[in-house]
Structure 1
């Protein structure tokens, strides 16, 4: 007996994306007061992991920041250092990842398969990843390096 499988096409959920962007904005907003364009903000999460938050650009309605994850030593060989560029839109009160690992202009939906091996919902995934980073930093507390 054979069964035909009908694959449902991925539909971008704008409302879900805006919810995540609003939550990320609310979580990042307090950090903006402490960021200085001349001095990056370095945070340590335990003995092995460090984050750098850098103010990249500030304008009346937007702010761009870069969050980088670093490791202190080679004791975590599988851990890749990651970088997210985030734009905060103050009028809309939203924060969006505009580049991840140097890849910018992420599309809302990708066809599968694709040459870059992106997930069908790559843009949504990197914004969830930002949310996870923010939660990690807030949960474990901030220790300036």
Structure 2
């Protein structure tokens, strides 16, 4: 006999966080697709014969609310690693969000590897932790990156429509 989630909460049984792998993979795939739409060149760097030529290359996408700056730090045939700085000029935050993202070209996914610190981002954090991270921090950051990419994509689409004189 299985109990529903509401029944377990009512009985004060502690339910642990279980990541939704399907949602996480879908978000990473969507992030890759959005990045490919914004810059096919960025995605295509890994296919070039001289991989070292693309290291240090920068790509910037912006809206009024957010600026995304990617800097390629490592290139391999199936992966690209980049530093991502997310700036929010409209909000006026003094500190930008620094992330390390990895593009998996064979799987067509973008994953946040590291947050604003030296260690890799864990998939799940304990409820009480010294870093004061949310239990689902990695999921939230991947989703936030997706929302920023989507905002840039929407602006790009709007500019394309306006440049063709369409409404």
Shared fold (TM-score, shorter chain, > 0.5) = yes
CA contact (8 A) 2:56 2:73 kept: no
Q: CA RMSD in A?
A: 2.6
Q: 1:66 to 1:114 in 2, by over 3 A?
A: same
- DSSP 3-state at the match of 2:77: coil
Q: Which has the higher helix share?
A: 2
Structure number with the bigger relative contact order (C-alpha 8 A, sep ≥ 6) is 1
Q: TM-score, normalised by structure 2?
A: 0.69
**Structure 1 outlier segments of 4+, above 6 Å:** none
Cα shift at 1:125: 1.0
Q: Deviations over 1:93-130 (max 9, x none)?
A: 11100012135321121111111111111111111111
**Please, what TM-score do these two structures have when normalized by structure 1?**
0.78
Q: Which residue of 2 aligns with 1:82?
A: 97
Bigger Cα Rg: 2
- Name the CA distance, whole Å, in 2 between partners of 1:51 and 1:62: 20
Match of 1:66 among 83, 106, 111: 83
Match of 1:40 in 2: 58
- 1:62-82: CA deviation from partner (whole Å, max 9, x where unpaired): 01122212356xx84446411
For the residues of structure 1 that align with 2:88 and 2:16, how far apart are their CA atoms? 39
Unaligned segments of structure 1, at least 5 residues: none
Residue 55 (structure 1) aligned with residue 62 (structure 2): no
Report what 2:139 is aligned to: 124
